[in-house]
Chains A and B, each alone.
Chain A
Amino acid sequence: MAAPKKQIQQLARQLFAMSLAEGRLSAERVVAVLAYLEKNPPAQPIAVLKAYYRLVAAEYAKGQAVVEHAGPIAGNLLASIEVSMSQRYQRPIVAVAKENPALLAGLRVRVGDDVYESSVANQLAGLSV
């Protein structure tokens, strides 16, 4: 009998809680959890892994600032974004650059669910509405 969705979510959350060290995602612990699951697969292992992956990905995204840009960016821009975002969210955040010519100009910084938009493409989209 298939495990209900609630039980799968509960198990995934428990596994996620075990993947944290001092409130932050730990790569070693994630590896350990995955090794455990390989040896002791639960009922509906794919569903559990998918739910676990979503939780880990969301937590990982909270520690990363994806800086989308069109064209070249100044050398210290990433460092200054790291500092300001770390201050804002009160946790260490690593800035990662990603080129996106569709922005035309300006920046889009994504930290977890938050998006800081200052691109020409977004402003033009606002005009068209």
Chain B
Amino acid sequence: MSTVLEQIEQQIAKLSSKAVRKNTGVIRTVADGVAKIDGISDVMYNEMVQFPGGAIGIALNLEQDEVGCVILGDISGLKEGDEVQTTGKLLSIPVGKGLLGRVVDALGNPVDGKGPIESRENYPVEKIAPGIIERKSVSQPLFTGIMAIDSMIPIGRGQRELIIGDRGTGKTTIAIDTIINQAKINKVGLASGDKSFRPVYSIYVAIGQKNSNIVRTLGALEAAGALEYTVIVAAPAADNPANQYLAPYSGASVGEWFMENGMDALIVYDDLSKHAVAYRQISLILKRPSGREAYPGDVFYLHSRLLERAARLDGKGSLTALPIIETLAGDVSAYIPTNVISITDGQIFLETDLFNQGIRPAVSVGLSVSRVGSAAQIKATKQVGGKLKGELAQFRELAAFAQFGSDLDAKTKAQLDRGGRIVELFKQPAFNPVPIEQQVVTLWAISKGYYDSLEIKKVTAAAVSLREFFSTRKDTLLTEIRTKAALDKDLEAKIKTAMDEWKSSYSA
């Protein structure tokens, strides 16, 4: 009781008799999550507007006679004639390490029932991206743990790499695998005591997803021990479109805190197609002119200003972005996909046909590209995997011919066999990222023909056995590969010895 009285006395002592100036307006209409307001003559674009009952709005339409505000939160208590006031502030979100392991909404409020967020700083949700001078070129690798990607479509820290494909092709799985891999690398790196090690913190932004999907993702991250390095910003399908519109920007603000404080972060936007749809809904309700496919004219800017915030900064950290776009019937030439493809530094294209054939991850090597390329690869991966993309391209060409005829020369058969083995090797189960040193030994084995005597169908099992052998009995060798990051003659000789040992004991 005395504590409550003390708190009340402290609050009363803070009261001031100074007059406070407010700029006010009156709600004229409220419909579909948008309020039209008379007055608030001082309001600025994107300013927060305070509604009765604690709801907040963002002023998005400043017209001659009225202001259009999208309302974040519960609108059920609002009515025509209610007074609103400007706040003089832009929308901001709490940031910092206190968000790690937590699930928050687009405004930074916790929704996981684990209590308030500990945060000392707030960052604005809308922020101008870093300029040219502040940036540094991408040269540090970000390992996804997916062999097909790390060897042929490598991603670097500060890059924007789009994950694009039809529904159910494994886009989210690739993103989650990447997050889980960062957590695994973080644990090993931090335990090693290496002072130059830079952990990667992850932010997963769920936009317009089903709540059940978000719970499943949360469970997968928790089970893999990745949640302690991850922030989840959730704007599910049940949220109003304004929250879905803001969630990616809120996530970017969280990531920028890490970047500007000398740390590296990864952000996944899942997915930007739903983000564009939410923005379209808001724009149509605000009576903004619509363009192609009823999207507003600035839908390109919607994504460009978001993705430009991912960068590598000179003297600071980096923010790597993995935006996800869902296509319909594999159409990458549609409006939103082409917009985002032109913004990002490459794309990972997932095909339904490959997925149905059992090739998972269903990465189309021919259509996928990383514009950063080998600058983001360690030397060891370049040494063992440099030729794979070309070999797979030849395989695809020959495979088209092979289905028509049965009389093939020995060279063609060998190329087909080799391509088939590489395709089989890149198959990987979900939520099972492979550390880069294990990828190196796996690819070294195929480059030296260790799988040539095996049936194509048995290559995957052999690769799993190989990695298990190395992780249980040749851990020091793997550590050496990881720390050296390049294969010299001495290291190759050690790998060969270990490989021969495995081969002699392995039976398919």
Indicate if the CB atoms of B24 and A123 lie closer than 8 Å.
no
A residues less than 8 Å from B23 (CB atoms):
113-115
* Complex CA distance for A60 and B371, rounded to whole angstroms: 61
Indicate if the CB atoms of B39 and A113 lie closer than 8 Å.
yes
A118-B21 contact in complex given A113-B39, A113-B42, C-beta closer than 8 Å: no
CB pairs A–B below 8 angstroms (24 shown)? A9-B64, A13-B64, A54-B65, A110-B24, A113-B23, A113-B24, A113-B39, A113-B42, A114-B22, A114-B23, A114-B42, A115-B23, A115-B85, A116-B19, A116-B20, A116-B22, A117-B20, A117-B21, A118-B19, A122-B20, A123-B15, A126-B15, A127-B8, A129-B54
A residues less than 8 Å from B19 (CB atoms):
107, 109, 116-118
A residues less than 8 Å from B25 (CB atoms):
113
A44 to chain B, nearest CB (A): 16
Interface positions, chain A 78-129, Cβ under 8 Å from B, are: 106-107, 109-110, 112-118, 122-123, 126-127, 129
B39 to chain A, nearest CB (A): 4
Indicate if the CB atoms of B17 and A106 lie closer than 8 Å.
yes
* B215 interface residue (CB < 8 Å to A): no
Taking residues whose C-beta sits less than 8 angstroms from the other chain, chain B's interface range is 20 to 34
Chain A residues bordering chain B, tally (CB within 8 A): 22
What 1/0 mask marks residues of chain A from 19 to 47 whose CB sits below 8 Å from any chain B CB? 00000000000000000000000000000
Interface positions, chain B 221-244, Cβ under 8 Å from A, are: none
A residues less than 8 Å from B12 (CB atoms):
127
Indicate if the CB atoms of B22 and A117 lie closer than 8 Å.
yes
B4 to chain A, nearest CB (A): 13
* B41 interface residue (CB < 8 Å to A): yes
* A51 interface residue (CB < 8 Å to B): yes
Indicate if the CB atoms of B38 and A54 lie closer than 8 Å.
yes
Indicate if the CB atoms of B40 and A113 lie closer than 8 Å.
yes
* Complex CA distance for A54 and B25, rounded to whole angstroms: 13
* Complex CA distance for A113 and B40, rounded to whole angstroms: 6
Indicate if the CB atoms of A9 and B65 lie closer than 8 Å.
yes
Beyond A114-B23, A115-B85, A127-B12, 7 additional pairs, beta carbon < 8 A: A58-B39, A107-B19, A110-B24, A115-B21, A115-B23, A122-B20, A127-B8
Nearest chain B residue, comparing its CB with the CB of A54? B38
A19 to chain B, nearest CB (A): 16
* Complex CA distance for A122 and B21, rounded to whole angstroms: 12
Nearest chain A residue, comparing its CB with the CB of B26? A113
Nearest chain B residue, comparing its CB with the CB of A123? B15
Indicate if the CB atoms of B22 and A115 lie closer than 8 Å.
yes
* Complex CA distance for A94 and B42, rounded to whole angstroms: 22
* B18 interface residue (CB < 8 Å to A): yes
